A and B are shown apart, each in its own frame.
Chain A
Amino acid sequence: DAKTTQPTSMDCAEGRAANLPCNHSTISGNEYVYWYRQIHSQGPQYIIHGLKNNETNEMASLIITEDRKSSTLILPHATLRDTAVYYCIVRMDSSYKLIFGSGTRLLVRP
């Protein structure tokens, strides 16, 4: 599976959009981009995933560049409860394994 690179930490103000970048320059054509988050001392929570097109659900939007070498997770109106570690993971569609990197620690400030 391709490796991902994320900033170690970020912060944003409550109510503003949080934009979390991820680089996956070695991604191959059949690999999906997944985003999970982990709030302290809990299991990871699924956020969103995509292959080529941008995706949106009730939690977030995922913007994937045309060359698929990077993506951005957007939390449109961050709340204090969005403070967590966010993991960007690349996964083949034939494999259910998720290999976690270091993630981005997002702090939402009041």
Chain B
Amino acid sequence: GAVVSQHPSWVICKSGTSVKIECRSLDFQATTMFWYRQFPKQSLMLMATSNEGSKATYEQGVEKDKFLINHASLTLSTLTVTSAHPEDSSFYICSATRDRGPGELFFGEGSRLTVL
């Protein structure tokens, strides 16, 4: 069964509003989670690394004020797309690891955001 869950699975919002996406590790504690974005027919692009209890680390070119990440507990990370615009419409995916060393990363089911 799924060990990483995202909510909502899909969301439609108006331009200028903010949208929050949750990522939960269901049966393990994840000190580190990752957020990806995927446009149609493209690969996954890493946006940021979410660290429990500290600030997220953003990849080059990703606006941290635009994509707010909060990792307040060992089982929950949230991504807030602030003042969303149509170009922010994308598939957002999170992942988390429960192992130290070369363990596998578990991915959520993804959240599809459509900004009108």
Contacts and interface: CB of A to CB of B under 8 A. Distances in A.
Interface of A: 32, 34, 36, 38, 41-46, 49, 51, 85, 87, 91, 93, 96-103
Contacts of B93: 43-44
B34 A97 contact: yes
Contacts, number: 54
Interface residues of B, number: 24
Given A97-B34, A99-B46, A42 B109 contact: yes
Given A43-B110, A44-B44, A103-B43, A98 B105 contact: yes
Contact of A101 (B32, B43, B106): B43
Contact of A102 (B34, B36, B43, B108): B43
A97 to B, nearest CB: 7
Contacts of B6: 43
A51 B102 CA distance: 9
Contact of A46 (B36, B45, B104): B104
